[in-house]
């Protein structure tokens, strides 16, 4: 049982790490990042909707359907565009590393919305992630011409937007909503919100069509199913550590093998700092903040004991 979970999460990390590498194929042919984002969301939608119709995952309350559809705009439409834009203007390596800062954002959301304390470990990880991301930006990433400021901003934005998935998934999966139900509504909504801005390039090659379909199949449908399957078999912390630290390392490796992207020593130092920050934030113990009234009562009791 556990071995199957490890296989699933390792496969998930490998598949997600291919996003940047596969996206470079249509980029090289001249496709705009908006069109690539559209096709990735569209083909991902086809696989999830087909899956959902087969297993009856579309049977959910209308309110949930509306929420998931609305979330598709930032959670897929904008996120997918920023990822491809980051790959084009900052490099696949930098974009993936900065995208995997999402657990840092999750820790901030947990502090703001779920009453979780901001411990010393979490504060350290946030500082380490910011410092590491800054070093990667200064290094120019893995592109020979260096990364553009907008490309770096897009890469950082992917981490922020992907962290929102954790909030939505955590809320509804704990209510026994199937991940297939979530994404069979989220992905089509994201694709539709991108559609008005797409300038379709005619005469795409067979290689480009294969890469676009692959983004939907191997970088949407299959990795999300593997991730959910791993969560059923392994502790969530262990799953997150393997995925969030393994994916950027694999992306850097694949980007070097297929596209010749090479981090400078400063860039490698920044990447190691970011990955270390992610591991720290995920392995940190969850501590609930005590209500202010309770803290005040404890303080009064301490003062009374000292007075006595």
Q: What is the tens place of the pLDDT at every residue in 201-212?
A: 999 999 999 999
For the chain, how many structural domains are there in total? 1
Higher pLDDT, 126 or 287: 126
Higher pLDDT, 103 or 210: 210
Q: Which of 60-74, 88-102, 236-250: highest mean pLDDT?
A: 60-74
Percent of the chain with pLDDT over 70: 82
Return mean pLDDT, the chain.
Answer: 81
What gap in Å lies between CA 134 and CA 302, rounded to an integer?
A: 44
What average pLDDT score do residues 195-218 get?
A: 95
Are 244 and 282 in contact by the 8 Å Cβ rule? The answer is yes
Ramachandran sector of residue 297 (left: φ over 0; alpha: ψ -120 to 50; beta: rest)? alpha
Q: How many CB atoms lie within 10 A of CB 288?
A: 9
Higher pLDDT, 167 or 35: 35
Burial class of residue 211, CB neighbours in 10 A (0-12, 13-18, 19+): buried
Percent of the chain with pLDDT over 90: 34
Higher pLDDT, 139 or 120: 120
- Whether the pLDDT of residue 245 is over 90: the answer is no
What average pLDDT score do residues 147-173 get?
A: 84
Which pLDDT belongs to residue 304? Answer: 47
Q: Residue 39's domain spans which residues?
A: 2-307
- Whether the pLDDT of residue 297 is over 60: the answer is no
Q: What is the tens place of the pLDDT at every residue in 115-128?
A: 767 777 777 877 88
Per-position DSSP letters for 97-128, written without gaps between them? HHHTTHHHHHHHHHHHHS-B---HHHHHHHHH
- Whether the pLDDT of residue 40 is over 90: the answer is yes
pTM of the model: 0.76
Burial class of residue 239, CB neighbours in 10 A (0-12, 13-18, 19+): buried
Which pLDDT belongs to residue 292? Answer: 47
- Whether the pLDDT of residue 277 is over 70: the answer is yes
Residue 36: pLDDT band (50, 70, 90) is very high
Least confident of 57-66, 103-112, 118-127, 278-287: 278-287
- Whether the pLDDT of residue 293 is over 90: the answer is no
Per-position DSSP letters for 207-218, written without gaps between them? HHHHHHHHHHII
């Amino acid at each position: 049982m556990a071995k199957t979970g490890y296989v699933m999460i390792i496969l998930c990390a490998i598949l997600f790490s291919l996003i940047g590498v596969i996206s470079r194929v249509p980029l090289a042919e001249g496709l705009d990042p908006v069109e690539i984002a559209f096709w990735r969301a569209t083909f991902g939608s086809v696989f999830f909707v087909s899956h959902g119709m087969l297993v009856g995952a579309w049977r959910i309350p209308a309110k949930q359907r509306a929420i998931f559809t609305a979330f598709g705009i930032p959670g897929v439409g904008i996120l997918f565009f920023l990822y491809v834009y980051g790959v084009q203007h900052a490099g696949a390596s930098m974009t993936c590393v900065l995208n995997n800062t999402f657990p840092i954002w999750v820790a901030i959301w947990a502090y703001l919305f779920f009453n979780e304390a901001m411990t010393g470990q979490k504060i350290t990880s946030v500082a380490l992630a910011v410092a590491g991301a800054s070093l990667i930006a200064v290094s120019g990433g893995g592109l020979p011409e260096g990364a553009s400021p907008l490309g770096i901003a897009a890469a950082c934005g992917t981490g922020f937007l992907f962290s929102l998935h954790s909030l939505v998934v955590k809320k509804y999966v704990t209510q026994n909503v199937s991940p297939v139900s979530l994404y069979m509504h989220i992905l089509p909504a994201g694709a539709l919100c991108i559609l008005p801005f797409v300038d379709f390039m005619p005469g795409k090659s067979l290689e480009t069509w294969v890469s676009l379909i692959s983004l939907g199949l191997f970088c949407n449908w299959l990795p999300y199913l593997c991730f959910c399957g791993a969560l059923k078999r392994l502790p969530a912390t262990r799953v997150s550590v393997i995925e969030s630290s393994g994916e950027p390392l694999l992306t850097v490796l694949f980007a070097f093998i297929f596209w010749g992207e090479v981090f400078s020593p400063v860039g490698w130092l920044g990447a190691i700092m970011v990955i270390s920050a992610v591991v720290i934030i995920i392995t940190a113990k969850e501590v609930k903040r005590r209500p202010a009234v309770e803290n005040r009562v404890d303080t009064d009791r301490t003062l009374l004991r000292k007075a006595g």
